[in-house]
Amino acid sequence: MLTAELKHVKTVDEFYTEIRSQQEEHHGKDYCAMHDAIRKYMKDCKSYKELGTHQGGSAASVMTGEHKPEYMELVDINHEKYRWKLKSLAQPYCKKNGIELVVREADSTALNSISDRDIDMLVIDSLHQRQHMEKELAMHAGYIKKYIIAHDTTICQDRPKDALYRCLSDFCDNGTTWKIIERGTTNVGYTVLKRS
């Protein structure tokens, strides 16, 4: 994944515009289509959590969207790239916009990554391996009330095509209260699950 050049940005809005532009220029059209899905379903949500923050492109899409959460939690095993730029912009932005921002540096399958509250939307964009996603779903899906959205569910380097989509499909088929309601298949793709 591209590490965008963002030294010059001064606001969260500039950060989001610039990171999306650079990611889609580098990775191709529709690479950030998941951001549009996140924003679409945020209208029903007051809380948001993501597993895999990297520089914070998805987080910034939520912060700058029309429907801002009251609570936002970012989990990554290493927040170095988030701290490098977005952290200094996000903290005052979230305070001004009434968003409680929690940042956890943790493995998304470790106990210290579990939330102590119910969350409306979970975004998964961490280690793109089926076994890892299975663990994430087992650990986190229980306290997610409305949506799970996963990135890279069509194509991702070093794994079979559709492996993560099949993981999500199997999860829904195994007697859970989740169903797939949307699948974006252009570029790396994304999948949206809704609790039924």
Q: What is the pLDDT of residue 135?
A: 98
pLDDT value at residue 21 = 97
Residues 6+ apart with CB under 8 A from 53: 59, 74, 75, 76, 79, 81, 82, 103
| pLDDT computed for residue 70 by the predictor | 98
pLDDT of residue 159: 65
Q: Provide the 10 A C-beta neighbour count for residue 177.
A: 9
pLDDT (0 to 100) of residue 157 = 62
Domains of the chain in start order, with CATH, are: 31-195 (3.40.50.150)
Task: For residue 56, give both structure tokens.
Answer: 């914070």
Determine the Cα–Cα distance for residues 25 and 83; give it in Å rounded to an integer: 24
Task: Give the pLDDT of residue 161.
Answer: 74
Q: What is the DSSP letter of 13?
A: H
The predicted pLDDT at position 175 comes to: 83
| pLDDT at position 122 | 98
Task: Kindly list the averaged pLDDT for each block of 10 residues, start to end, along the chain of length 196.
Answer: 92 98 95 97 98 97 98 97 96 98 97 96 95 97 98 77 92 94 95 97
Placement of tokens 């924003």 in the chain: 39
Predicted TM-score (pTM) of this structure: 0.96
Specify the pLDDT at position 156: 66
